[in-house]
Amino acid sequence: MSSNAIALEGVSAAYGQSRVVHSISLAVAPGDAATILGRNGVGKTTLLRTIVGLHPAASGRIVLDGDDVTEARAFTRARRGVGYVPQGRGVFQHLTVEENLELGLAALRGRPGGGGTVPGHVFEIFPVLDRLRGRKAGLLSGGEAQQLSIGRALVTRPRLLILDEPTEGIQPSVVQQIADALAVIRRELKVAVLLVEQYLAFAWSVGERFYVMRGGRIVMQGETAAQAPESVAHLLNI
């Protein structure tokens, strides 16, 4: 049980009276990666925001490293190891790349070895961030901003990294860099990865487990090694 970095037990979420996420259960162990697939509007982003603590769970439990955090505020979850790369990247446009990265240090408060400076491995994984340190984030290209967003999440020293459609609107060469970076992050940093993706090839190259959502529910799940991406395509295309 507690060997999982994250476990969801029957998590639901709603906007007012309308429930958009229904009783989702899943788990990811440290160093593992799981992908959530599904069309637009099926509740993927809402589910991730609920895990991060930016949206209340209507029912169910969210267990982080064995601790129930269902009621915890988002900033405390970040301090307990939830790193978030939101859809649209969420970089602070009028802060520089370096300032954006340094904001991630806030999550280290109260942790051993916390505070200080942006760790060097962030720049090793994303060398472009080193070159662009002084640039305003609002001036970055989509791929650069995405790398900044992931790099910034790494500054928080996550045990669980949550990414919402990181390949959306990004050129193929950068998509490959991001896939490579995620492999390093899992292997060397032992971070669990929970990815939301619509791009099947990318999803298959990153995660060993997949879940397909439809109408707020998980309607199919399996191992990417055992099934071809085509086997879920009918659930994703119109």
Partner 1 sequence: MTELGLVASQLFNGISLGSILLLAALGLALSFGLMNVINMAHGELLMMGGYLAYLAYRMPVGPWRLPLALLLAAAGAALFGALLELTVVRRLYGRPLDTLLATWGVSLLMQQGARSLFGPVGVEVTAPDWLAGAIPLRSIGLPGVELPLVRLFIIAVAGVVLAGLALVLTRSRWGRLVRAVQEDRDMAEALGINSRRVDLVIFMIGTGVAGLAGAALALIAPVTPTVGQSYIVYAFLVVIVGGLGSLTGTAAAALAVGLLSAWLQVFTSVSLADVLLLVVVMAFIQVRPRGIVTRLSRALEEA
Ligand X SMILES: Nc1ncnc2c1ncn2[C@@H]1O[C@H](COP(=O)(O)OP(=O)(O)O)[C@@H](O)[C@H]1O
Torsion over CA: 210, 193, 190, 11 (sign):
negative
Residue 42: name its binding partner from partner 1, Mg ion, ligand X, none (Cβ under 5 to 8 Å by kind).
ligand X
Residue 151's CB is within 10 A of a number of other CB atoms, namely: 24
Q: Which listed range, 15-23, 31-39, 85-93, 210-218, lies at the site for partner 1 (CB under 8 A)?
A: 85-93
The binder of ligand X chosen from 10, 15, 133, 176 (CB under 6 A): 15
Residue 237, interface with ligand X (CB under 6 A)?
no
Residue 46, interface with ligand X (CB under 6 A)?
yes
Distance CA 97, CA 61 (A): 36
Residue 15: name its binding partner from partner 1, ligand X, Mg ion, none (Cβ under 5 to 8 Å by kind).
ligand X
Beta bridge partners of 70: none
- Minimal distance in Å, beta carbon 165 to ligand X? 8
Residue 15, interface with partner 1 (CB under 8 A)?
no
Instruction: Tokens for 95, please give them.
Output: 């802060």
The binder of partner 1 chosen from 29, 72, 106, 236 (CB under 8 A): 106
Tell me the H-state helices in the chain.
44-52, 74-79, 97-103, 120-125, 127-131, 142-155, 172-189, 200-206, 230-236
Residue 41: name its binding partner from Mg ion, ligand X, partner 1, none (Cβ under 5 to 8 Å by kind).
ligand X
Judged by CB under 6 A, how many residues of this single chain contact ligand X? Answer: 10
**Do the beta carbons of residue 105 and residue 113 sit within 8 Å?**
no
Would you say 45 or 147 has its CB closer to Mg ion?
45
- Minimal distance in Å, beta carbon 128 to ligand X? 27
Q: 172-189 and 142-155 are packed helices; what angle lies between their axes, rounded to 10 degrees?
A: 10
